[in-house]
Amino acid sequence: MKQNFSPLPSGVWPPALTAFTPSGELDLPGNRALFEWYASAGVDGLFVSCLTGELNCLSIDEILQLNRLAVETAAGRFPVVGGVMPAAPTPETIAADVLRLAETGVAASVVLVSQLAAPEEDDDRLLANADRLLKLTGDLPLGLYECPKPYHRLLREKTLAELAATGRFVFFKDTCCDIGRIRERIRLVRGTPLRLFNANAATLLDSFRAGAGGYCGVGANYYPELFRLLWAHRDSEQAKKLQQFIATNDAMADLGRAYPVSAKYMAQLHRLPLSLRCRITERTIGDGDRQTLRQLGADAERLIRRFSANAVMETA
């Protein structure tokens, strides 16, 4: 096994929202403010141009703009990884986007697992396509994402281990939502540069304690500080209270698939200059939804203050 790269920082990696103007264009000032907000929350890294960021509605030029802006705004405070999603995915088209994205300064270019093989193709074909991709991208660091689009493909554990053993993959966004599989995946990639970032709120604390690299899920767009506390205090008994709040409110935050509109409204509550415009959905949120999100934000803020105060007292 070649170990070409140092592991990425562990911790909280929000899947970044993408800000659009009310007319649907990229809102560069809004995105800069958003990236700065992530930085102020103390995130450990950022996943730009992912499904949360409406990757399937972005052109490659927009992907490059966003990632370049994120890297500039981060200014070395945390690393950025970015996703690519060619309309006609082949190892060659994916590689072409990876090569362009690498020029923006991202720490890794993230490849969608579902673009490495068609639904009817087995993992042998996926591995063959991955091998071709590796050859076409020199020694660039890469990531893997079990993205639900264009279809939800989960890696077999043996396949993940083979990809990790190449030494080229440093980031893995896990969406299996199965703590048994997550534990096995963590065991299999140990000793490689690849870090597993769990996207699932229900299994989060257990995955942290099992050795996951951190969290990369939608909740980090509502109250990233809460996840930072969970990560920092993952070995404490008090962490169970944070986990309970996170798991209980995960579905409420989604508001019946109103995400990412709901997360953009929460960003407005944090005084970010974002419109609610999304390309991925035309859904809006009503007054009742807004009240739910305001209450959720207030409850999270109280929990953050209370937990932080108790943590200070325990260490005094």
**Inside any domain, residue 148:** yes
- Give the pLDDT of residue 1: 44
Q: Any idea what the CATH number is for the domain that residue 80 is in?
A: 3.20.20.70
- Give the pLDDT of residue 134: 98
Specify the higher pLDDT residue, 105 or 313. Answer: 105
**Inside any domain, residue 51:** yes
- Give the pLDDT of residue 124: 97
This prediction has a pTM of 0.95
**Inside any domain, residue 310:** no
**Inside any domain, residue 264:** no
The mean pLDDT of 271-286, rounded to a whole number, is: 88
Give the residue from 53, 45, 102 showing the smallest Cα distance to 74. Answer: 45
pLDDT tens readout for residues 190-227:
999 999 999 999 999 999 999 999 999 999 999 999 99
pLDDT at 282 exceeding the cut of 80: no
- CA–CA dist 315, 194 (Å, integer): 33
**Inside any domain, residue 271:** no
The mean pLDDT of 70-97, rounded to a whole number, is: 98
The mean pLDDT of 50-70, rounded to a whole number, is: 97
* Residue 52 is assigned to a ligand binding site: yes
Domain count, the chain: 1
Sorting pLDDT into bands at 50, 70 and 90, what band is 57?
very high
Sorting pLDDT into bands at 50, 70 and 90, what band is 309?
confident
The mean pLDDT of 54-73, rounded to a whole number, is: 97
Q: Which alpha helices (DSSP H) does 200-316 contain, by range?
A: 204-210, 224-232, 239-254, 261-269, 287-315
**Inside any domain, residue 280:** no
Residue 147's domain spans which residues? 11-222
**Inside any domain, residue 238:** no
Q: What residues act catalytically?
A: 145, 173
- CA–CA dist 67, 49 (Å, integer): 7
**Inside any domain, residue 63:** yes
- Give the pLDDT of residue 82: 98
